[in-house]
Amino acid sequence: MAAVPNEVVQDVETEKQHFQDVFESFAFYREYATRRLNKVEQNASALPVHHLAMLQPDFGERLGMLRTAVDVNYSFVREMLQSSRDIFVNSSVSREDPMDGSTDVPTGCASSGGASQGADLRGNQAAPAVRTAAVQEEGATSFNMDKVITTLRQFYRDWSKEGQPERDACYRPLFSELLKCCPLPREGYQPPRVLVPGAGLGRLAFDIAQQGYECQGNEFSMHMLMASNFILNRPADSPQLTLHPFVLQFCNNLSSSDQLQQVLIPDACPAAIGCKAGNFSMSAGDFLDVYTEPDQWDCVVTCFFLDTAHNPLAYIECIEKILVPGGHWLNLGPLLWHWSDIDGEKSIELSYEQLRRVIVGNFQFTMLKEESNHRGGYIQNPRSMMKTVYDSVLFVARKSTSAGAMHPGQTVASAQKLRGRRS
């Protein structure tokens, strides 16, 4: 038997380590959140006595309810992790299992409960010890914990009734354009093949498949992959789960209850709704590495995706390659450029004007429709006193049916001239 190359072994070990780190970051959620709440309590306890008295009893009661809400969220996370231990080959948890020895947590609703242990500031009770197991912290980096919080809020956006307005602002325009450029065929005919890169928790891709298209979502983030695996494969008879998506948002709360708002996940169970056999799938991996075969997809739908690229030109090039001649590219989103200003990361930041010029001038695309000022948020707290609203661009582009429409030699020559001027 031939030996496995060292590079392959190293890649497998790197992937296993990454999965372990992501798993541990989720498992660390309750300890992370409890430390944040302990800091709130410590800061309040340091106030002058007469100032602290002004805040009571509401402050202590609210802190107790926040602790209960964290426990409810951790119950949600534990159930997700139980379903995610072995979702990838060679990726089962290998270090001391961070879930072992964890105590059960409440599954009820924090907004209807009272104060929990440690809620009485300067009383007879001290702040509670962290009740999680001795979770290893190797994977609980600041970066990973930010991802954990973002992923929990993504459940709110994609799989709650309360997230419907945010979804409608982004998904409905894309659904409308998809039906126009790729109408569904009559019964018995092959439906158009649609790809959704950057699928997150899979709601957009699933809803497209539910309409009758053959749709595949693609996602690179391991945090998102674990979460989407959980929600998309949840049994049809499973009860809805309670989640408090904004429990760690301490700023811009108009009411104390806003921080405790709860949602039920999912608002629609994929297993109960179902799609036609073979119509829906998810793939894991980097978009540029996974999709290399030309002329495979009738339509590519990108939603809040283009600005995740280190090099957006590579994304455009790949989309052009994998679309069939005459295929369509639908895009909606801002240009936040996720890697901008991050040390050690390369990032090409273009204006929409520059991006458009490249799309129509250097690739086989014709713009069929462009609309600006599609206003919408992304995992925004609807009750917050501060919200980020994006004025996104929607465009519909069609790949030429003629192979002669592309001029790759001209593109290369232009790049060589640019490099020559800089040397």
Q: What is the pLDDT of residues 191-238, one digit of tens each?
A: 999 999 999 999 999 999 999 999 999 999 999 999 999 999 999 999
Average pLDDT for residues 148-153, to the nearest whole number?
98
Of 423 and 351, the structure prediction assigns the larger pLDDT to 351
According to DSSP, residue 14 is labeled H
11-20, 239-248, 347-356, range with the lowest pLDDT: 11-20
Nearest residue to 331 (alpha-carbon basis) of 352, 294, 305: 305
pLDDT band for position 117 (cuts 50, 70, 90): very low
Is the model's pLDDT at 348 over the cut of 90? yes
Q: How many angstroms separate the CA atoms of 393 and 375, rounded?
A: 9
pLDDT band for position 42 (cuts 50, 70, 90): very high
Average pLDDT for residues 398-420, to the nearest whole number?
52
31-35, 182-186, 263-267, 327-331, range with the lowest pLDDT: 182-186
What are residue 330's DSSP bridge partners? Answer: 301, 396
What is the chain's alpha carbon radius of gyration, rounded to the nearest angstrom? Answer: 24
Is the model's pLDDT at 261 over the cut of 70? yes
Average pLDDT for residues 368-372, to the nearest whole number?
97
Q: How many angstroms separate the CA atoms of 18 and 44, rounded?
A: 38
pLDDT at 197: 98
- In percent, the amount of the chain with pLDDT more than 90 equals 73
Is the model's pLDDT at 58 over the cut of 60? yes
pLDDT at 15: 85
Is the model's pLDDT at 120 over the cut of 70? no
Average pLDDT for residues 131-143, to the nearest whole number?
63
pLDDT at 116: 37
First-last CA distance in the chain: 50
3-state helix, strand, coil in the chain (%, to 5): 45, 15, 40
Of 260 and 413, the structure prediction assigns the larger pLDDT to 260
pLDDT at 273: 85
Classify residue 128 as left (phi > 0), alpha (psi -120 to 50) or beta: beta
